[in-house]
Amino acid sequence: MKTKNLFLGMAVLLLLGVAPVSCNKEKEGVRTVSVTLSGGVTAPNAAGDAAYDFFRTGYAGYFSSLGDHGAVQMTGNTPGTLGGSIRVNPYAARLWCFSIGALGETPTANVPAVLTRSAAASEADLDKMVYCSEPISLDGDGPFAGTLKPLTGAIVLEIMDTGGKWAGKPFSTVTVTADKGKALAGDVVLCLEEARVGELKNESASLTFNCSSLNVGTAEAPATLGAVVLPCAFTGTIAVEAEQFSATLSVDQPLYLQAGYVKHIQVDLAMAEVTSKIVKHFPYRLGILGDSISTFGGIIPSSHRAYYPTTNAVCADVDAWTKTYWGHLINDYWHCELDVNSSWSGSCVAAGDPTVVRTPFVERLDLFKNPDTIILFGGTNDCQPARQIALGEFDYTSAPEALNKYARFRESYIWVIRTLQAKFPEAQIICILGNHIDGEYGNSVQEIATHFGLPLIDFRGDTQVTVYSELHPNAAGHAHMAERIYNETLHLFQ
């Protein structure tokens, strides 16, 4: 606390109309009392929230029952305690001690007080929190002891996007709004003469952070904001506003904001309702990452194996790249350019057959140039009985280099998405599930796409059996696929 707070008590008394103690009081007798203050909160609560270590060596405010007032230097005696000597009228019966860091020119403490060191909230500007003791009886010879009890709690918001779409993007404001009119903020009135906490004025059910130089973070390094708040069982919404997006996260299960504790709240945009403010348009440059269904010789890189065109009588009518599903999208629907088609016949998302050169998806991402839309169509070969790539785990938090991208399907699929989003953060990724991706492989693609908030075109159970034959669609099948992809992604581009 700053030295200028020594004069706070005098300012408060003058505002209250109470005459300061006379300079001749020393002649009438002055009593020096030794006071030790201990903390009312010293350990995490049942929910595991960190307790504030609000003890600071510095100045504490005091007020006695006979009007003695001011600030006194308090020093740490033992862990969790502060001590100091206070001079009062010998006839004073009670003493009230309080933190003066949050007080201004009036005996009112504004809540919330924004924490400036939000990344280390349990050590940040805690003198701005309001702590008061129960009145200490001065009966007897002393020494005297009291307990500082916190009146406020704190929140730390961890702003992130585990989906990766908005990570690294700046945001301007964050608004926390409690439902049912619960007060998060207001002015706590300290009735100094009566040694008690008075009414709450100017209460508000919301508080807003105006942010600068902050970007949406990741799970490993979230952007953090903190504020002192009034205790309550918080349910409501947390809204993040940015130039490129707006996001709202609903908090339906109560979060208990307790006095003296800091509650960390994760605001994951992957779990929020996000509205993009970016002007939408049909794709300009389309990238494709797939297996045999997405190939065509002469269009894919010459080193890649192609399935189409084929001598298979069922699919022989796919005799031009414009008759593939992606050819229809480029020529008939989106009227865009092909960036790179990095597809390879027989390849898996993870590891392919070790006896055949079929480079997996995880090794073919560097071929793209500058796509603004990427189709990810894989998994059919991973789930085939002859391959049965291990499923693995839904690992969204490990660093990409820690994922087993070669041996396990789920981790490979997640790695592909995270890598594409990192390389092409503005690109729209569209996931496609083929009609022959069975069981947990198909369910896994659906789960992963949902986690990242990506559109998924699911061809499982497609009843147009005349369109599909074996694993590869004929010309009519490709046309059908293109129409469904176009119709089910139209909302992305309008």
- Tell me the pLDDT tens digit for each residue of 372-414: 999 999 998 888 877 778 898 999 988 888 887 788 899 999 9
Give the Cα separation of 454 and 444 in Å (integer).
13
CA angle, corner 437, sides to 435 and 441, nearest 5?
A: 150
The structure tokens listed for 353 are: 């057959």
Residues 338 and 370 in one domain: yes
Q: What is the pLDDT of residue 293?
A: 94
Residues 289 and 380 in one domain: yes
Residues 106 and 231 in one domain: yes
The residue type found at 228 is V
For the chain, the domain total comes to 2
Residues 61 and 124 in one domain: yes
Q: What is the pLDDT of residue 123?
A: 46
* pLDDT exceeds 60 at position 6: no
Residues 32 and 49 in one domain: yes
Query: Average of pLDDT values for 97-117?
Result: 65
Q: Which of 276, 296, 328 is the last residue of a domain?
A: 276
Q: What is the pLDDT of residue 126?
A: 59
Give the Cα separation of 243 and 224 in Å (integer).
19
CA angle, corner 277, sides to 273 and 283, nearest 5?
A: 105
Question: Which residue is associated with the tokens 């046309």?
Answer: 479
pLDDT bin (cut points 50, 70, 90) of residue 270 is very high
Question: Which residue is associated with the tokens 């919330």?
Answer: 112
Residues 159 and 246 in one domain: yes
Q: What is the pLDDT of residue 52?
A: 78
Q: What is the pLDDT of residue 335?
A: 93
Give, rounded to a whole angstrom, the gap between the first and last alpha carbons of the chain. Answer: 56
Q: What is the pLDDT of residue 345?
A: 93
Residues 78 and 29 in one domain: yes
* 8-state DSSP, 461: T
The structure tokens listed for 346 are: 């027989």
The backbone region for 157, taken as left when phi is positive above 0, alpha when psi lies in -120 to 50, beta otherwise, is: beta
Q: What is the DSSP string of 285-311?
A: EEEEEESGGG--TTTS-TTS----S--
Residues 389 and 335 in one domain: yes
* pLDDT exceeds 70 at position 169: yes
Give the Cα separation of 164 and 111 in Å (integer).
34
The dihedral built from the CA positions of residue 330, 332, 333 and 336, taken in this order, carries a sign that is positive
Q: Which of 276, 305, 328 is the last residue of a domain?
A: 276
Q: What is the pLDDT of residue 107?
A: 67
Q: What is the pLDDT of residue 195?
A: 81
Regarding pTM above 0.85, the answer is no
- Tell me the pLDDT tens digit for each residue of 27-36: 358 999 999 9
Query: Average of pLDDT values for 155-181?
Result: 91
Q: What is the pLDDT of residue 355?
A: 52
Element (H, E) at 422: helix 409-423
Question: Which residue is associated with the tokens 């949050």?
Answer: 102
- Tell me the pLDDT tens digit for each residue of 192-233: 778 888 888 899 999 998 887 899 999 999 998 888 899 999
pLDDT bin (cut points 50, 70, 90) of residue 2 is very low
Query: Average of pLDDT values for 280-284?
Result: 88
**Residue 320 or 314, more confident:** 320
Q: What is the pLDDT of residue 341?
A: 98
CA angle, corner 320, sides to 455 and 334, nearest 5?
A: 35
Average pLDDT, the chain: 84
pLDDT bin (cut points 50, 70, 90) of residue 106 is low
25 close to 89: Cβ distance less than 8 angstroms: yes
Element (H, E) at 410: helix 409-423
How many residues does the structure list for the chain? 494
User: Which range has highest mean pLDDT (1-5, 130-134, 140-144)?
Assistant: 140-144
The dihedral built from the CA positions of residue 180, 186, 192 and 193, taken in this order, carries a sign that is negative
Sequence-ordered list of residues with C-beta below 8 angstroms from that of 440, at least 6 positions apart, any chain: 391
Q: Which of 237, 253, 276 is the last residue of a domain?
A: 276
Question: Which residue is associated with the tokens 């004069």?
Answer: 7
Residues 485 and 382 in one domain: yes
**Residue 175 or 181, more confident:** 175
Residues 249 and 314 in one domain: no
- Tell me the pLDDT tens digit for each residue of 430-474: 999 988 887 899 999 999 999 999 999 999 887 664 455 567 899
61-70, 90-99, 103-112: least confidently modelled range:
103-112
For the chain, give the percent of residues with pLDDT over 70: 86
pLDDT bin (cut points 50, 70, 90) of residue 101 is low
Residues 163 and 200 in one domain: yes
Q: By residue range, what is the domain housing residue 421?
A: 285-493
The structure tokens listed for 330 are: 């480029």
Element (H, E) at 33: strand 31-39
* pLDDT exceeds 50 at position 22: no
Residues 177 and 237 in one domain: yes
Burial call 124-149: b when 16+ CB within 10 Å, e when fewer? bbbbbbbbbbebbebeeeeebebebb
**Residue 88 or 54, more confident:** 88
Q: What is the pLDDT of residue 111?
A: 82
CA distance readout (Å), 227 to 116, 131, 159, 269:
9, 16, 14, 20
Give the Cα separation of 77 and 37 in Å (integer).
10
Task: Give the CATH number for residue 463.
Answer: 3.40.50.1110
Q: Of 192, 209, 210, 190, which Cα lies nearest the Cα of 200?
A: 190
Element (H, E) at 26: helix 25-28
